[in-house]
Amino acid sequence: MILKVGVVRDDRYLLHQTGLDHPERAARLKTVYRMLDKEFADALITIEPEPATLEHLELVHTPAFIRKILKTSEHDFINLAPDTPVSSQSYISAWLAAGGCIRGLQALLSGRCDAVFCLVRPPGHHATPDKAGGYCIFNNIGIAAKYAIERHGFRRILILDFDIHHGNGIQDLFYEDDSVLYLSTHSLGRYPHTGEWSETGTGRGLGYSVNIPVPNDISDMDFLYMYWKLLGPIMRYYRPELILVAAGFDGHHRDPIGRTQLTEQAFRWITEAILELRDAVKSPPLLFALEGGHDAAALADCVKQVLDVLTWKERRPRIPLLLSPKGKSLVERAEAVHRKYGVWIS
Ligand SMILES: [Zn+2]
């Protein structure tokens, strides 16, 4: 089946200036947008973002925090956190990043698109209700998920986060909530120093946070094996009605921060796995939102791989799944931690 694939893009995402040496800079998206124009000129539906409304933002953030972000417009430069500088027009990008994810979701819910990639910045998965940090201001995916739950009655949302950093902001939002299953693969010993195996949720949300710390020498095949073996049972047992992907590409080996051994192929294979496995649950709508990825050329290569798969005219034979001892031991540990909750494995 040919998917109708949308992208959220807008040059106002370049207004957020972070300084010359900052890894999360406008050049990232400029390079990605150039790649889109060259490689996908007629293949994508362009979705224009609108700023998030106050009502959208307050699904996640406190009124005082939202006011604080608005007031950054009074400064040429100011730090919201030691690693999160903003310029006088950053608030425009931030409002549009959250609003762009809402627009992307609306395009899915209306049937205009089957899959959407929100190519936005600043990223969001580290943002908490009252704190910016880790280059993130508003929690773009968290807001989209809350919107889907509260405005559209979704009860089973899978959020998959393959950024090399743990998405502490997303996890916090849904830690006590069984309407979101949050699956994160990340490496430990880095910002934000959360995402241990033992963080599995609490109360009603017990068993719905699935954290898989991965070693730095993880390879593409390990990654594919791990995702294939985890997503299969998650699709079958949890049966998500909506899939949101916190798409961070800083695991790429050329990334100045990530430095694992992954190549852009890993992200192609994950996308293939998601597409194939979601067929088992009537192909729920699929939204990717950009998180990390700080080598502009590597980032564009990774995004291209994801969009290549989404825009395929026909399903191609996927790469044969080879046994990966590293991938297998990660999956077995996840199963051992989570079997007692019976959420996706019993
Ligand atoms: Zn990251």
* Confidence at 20, pLDDT banded by 50, 70, 90: confident
316 Cα to the center of ligand 1, angstroms:
30
Q: How far apart are CA 207 and CA 337, in angstroms?
A: 9
125 Cα to the center of ligand 1, angstroms:
9
Domains of the chain: 5-341 (3.40.800.20)
Q: 291 vs 322, which has greater pLDDT? A: 291
316-346 residues labelled b (16+ CB within 10 A) or e (exposed): eeeeeeeebebbeebbeebeebbeeeebbbe
Selected catalytic residue, list 126, 165, 186, 338: 126
152: annotated active-site residue:
no
Q: For the ranges 108-112, 113-117, 317-321, which has the lowest average pLDDT?
A: 317-321
For the stretch 259-268, pLDDT in tens is 789 999 999 9
Asked whether residue 317 carries a pLDDT value surpassing 90, the answer given is no
Q: How far apart are CA 206 and CA 211, in angstroms?
A: 12
> For the residues 197-213, what does the mean pLDDT come to?
98
For the stretch 129-181, pLDDT in tens is 999 999 999 999 999 999 999 999 999 999 999 999 999 999 999 999 999 99
Q: What is the DSSP letter of 7?
A: E
Q: What is the mean pLDDT of the chain?
A: 96
Amino acid (1-letter code) at residue 54: L
248 Cα to the center of ligand 1, angstroms:
6
* Per-residue pLDDT, 259: 78
Amino acid (1-letter code) at residue 269: W
313 Cα to the center of ligand 1, angstroms:
31
187 Cα to the center of ligand 1, angstroms:
10
292 Cα to the center of ligand 1, angstroms:
4
Asked whether residue 50 carries a pLDDT value surpassing 80, the answer given is yes
* Per-residue pLDDT, 316: 73
Q: How far apart are CA 137 and CA 95, in angstroms?
A: 9
CB 126 within 8 A of CB 84: no
> For the residues 310-329, what does the mean pLDDT come to?
86
Cα 83 to chain centroid, rounded = 20
* Confidence at 321, pLDDT banded by 50, 70, 90: confident
317 Cα to the center of ligand 1, angstroms:
31
299 Cα to the center of ligand 1, angstroms:
12
Q: How far apart are CA 162 and CA 140, in angstroms?
A: 15
250 Cα to the center of ligand 1, angstroms:
6
